[in-house]
Chain A
Amino acid sequence: MTFYIISISLLAFVAIYALMGVWAERKISALIQDRVGPVETGKFGLLQTFADIIKLLQKEDIVPTTADKVLFTLAPVLVFTSVFMGFAVLPFSPAYISSNINIGLFYFMAIISIEVVGILMAGWASNNKYAFLGSIRSIAQIIAYEIPAGIAVLSAVMIYQSLNLQEIAFQQGIYAKSDIYFFGFWKVNTVGGFLSWGVFQAPHLFVAAIIYFIASLAEANRTPFDIPEAESELVAGFHVEYSGFKFGALFLAEYAMMFLTSMVLVILFFGAWYSPLPNIAKVQLAEWTNGTYWGIFWILLKTLLIVVLQIWIRWTLPRFRADQLMNFCWKVLIPVSFACLFISAFWKLIVL
């Protein structure tokens, strides 16, 4: 029974988060471009996206006559379920994780690679050259950026010595069972706070975090890596033929993907559900601000901050060209991430 309650509440959370995410995206873009954004519907335009989704669901669900009908219908389902399945292994607090499997991180990487098949199905089944080109670009990009993302993640895993996301989370604060050091010289098991986060346990993990963040932007098809849906070239990319509920599902999947990758970034590098406040002598801030409900609060706060950062980047940077994108991945990100991996190995052998 709790299984159904948890999964349904997660689904509701993802749906509401996606709606608020679209609203936030429009408000932040307005702020950056010196506009006001949506203001008419509800206070500060908060109900705008709810109105939009009601309109979207009422639209006619068009399937092009030349499309492959079965695949066309299945593709959004596959894309959304694969992203949603990723939420199964995320720890929301010390006490709460849906599925505490010992290869959680690897499972997450596998889920991302399944989304690719859904995108390919969508692009091919639409029988539209723009959709097809968009899906090909998207896949080339996701496959290429999975490599630096995977290796950056591995360099963190070498430090934590576990693939279980909950165990990784535990090792970044006051509840850690093994010894943790701030940059390898100051034991911070009792201090906690941001000093014991993954990025501060080893200096090169900060580079790994940045690599993972860049790759996660590419995997969620966000600007500056949004050539799959480059509006000026491809109309709307792989979902150009979609309308109504199916388009809604694809849209939901994109925002859920942003949240998923941001949350994994937070879990691996930025202390998961640990509070950023350290214990200072008698002022035991870390002791006071950690716990089940605090954990949920902190991890959501940190994840949403990363999501805001993604939105900020989208409205600040222009789009990469396809060849620049591949050059950047293969000639910059992958060598740097391998360097991180080697440093991790040496760090584990020599410093700790």
Chain B
Amino acid sequence: MNQSVFYLLSFMTVLFALLVVFSKNPIHSALYMVLTFFTITCHYVLLNAQFLAIVNFIVYMGAIMVLILFAMMFLNLGKDTEPQKPVLLKFAAVIAAGLLLVTIFAALKKTDGGQITGIASNNIGLVKELGKTLFRDFLLPFEIISILLLSAMVGAVLLAKRDTK
């Protein structure tokens, strides 16, 4: 049961992810991205990580997707006449994408597939467990991330601030 749901969800995730790239209309591709995030949220639920699932739901599907849609609408990307990119740029893009492929391939080659260990506890994905793990085992990375976010916020405020001159 769980396995067939997993395969169905994975198929849908990949399908929607491909549709994001292949659909002509930018708004459609953004909405397909919402669906991709939704199926990823379902994956979290399957993994019993309910809190993470809802956070993914709120942050990615709610806030970030709406901001992306907003940006698209204001930039007026609806026109079909996309500017032609120079050949050099295309060449660079191919090389960068190829390097990414090599990295992913190497990473996958190192992993040993088929070794699935059971989840240690049923409550692993709940808020209390997550909080305990975050503040006990991963305190330093957590704090560093918060500083990173703070600096991003300060940067955003600086950019948005009106010039006093």
Contact = CB atoms under 8 A, between A and B. Distances in A.
B58 to A, nearest CB: 5
Given A103-B127, A163-B127, A109 B66 contact: no
Given A103-B54, A110-B58, A117 B73 contact: no
A114 B66 contact: no
Contacts of A117: 31, 34, 61-62, 65-66, 69
B73 A103 contact: no
A182 B51 CA distance: 31
B58 A109 contact: yes
A114 B27 contact: no
A121 B31 contact: yes
Interface in A88-110: 101-103, 106-107, 109-110
B126 interface: yes
Interface residue tally on A, bucketed by range: 20 to 34
B62 A71 contact: no
Interface SS of B by simple majority: helix
Contacts of A136: 70, 73
Contacts, number: 57
A121 B34 CA distance: 12
Interface residues of B, number: 20
A113 B69 contact: no
B36 interface: no
Contact of B63 (A103, A107, A113, A132): A113
B50 interface: yes
A103 B50 contact: yes
Contacts of A71: 27-28, 31
Contacts of B63: 113, 143
A116 B62 contact: yes
A113 B62 contact: yes
Nearest to B55: A106
A114 B62 contact: yes
A184 B64 CA distance: 40
A107 B27 contact: no
A327 to B, nearest CB: 15
Interface residues of chain A: helix, strand, loop or mixed (majority): helix
A120 interface: yes
A165 interface: no
Contact of A143 (B28, B54, B66): B66
B28 to A, nearest CB: 8
Contacts of A120: 66, 69
A124 B73 contact: yes
Nearest to A157: B127
Nearest to A116: B66
Contacts of A101: 50
A110 B58 CA distance: 5
Interface string A205-240: 000000000000000000000000000000000000
B43 to A, nearest CB: 16
Given A101-B50, A106-B54, A113-B57, 13 more contacts: A103-B127, A106-B51, A109-B54, A110-B54, A110-B61, A110-B62, A113-B58, A113-B61, A117-B34, A117-B69, A120-B66, A139-B66, A146-B62
The 9 A-B pairs of least Cβ separation, nearest first, read A113-B62, A110-B57, A106-B54, A110-B58, A110-B54, A113-B58, A103-B50, A116-B66, A103-B54
10 contacts: A102-B126, A113-B63, A117-B31, A117-B34, A117-B65, A117-B69, A121-B31, A136-B70, A143-B66, A163-B127
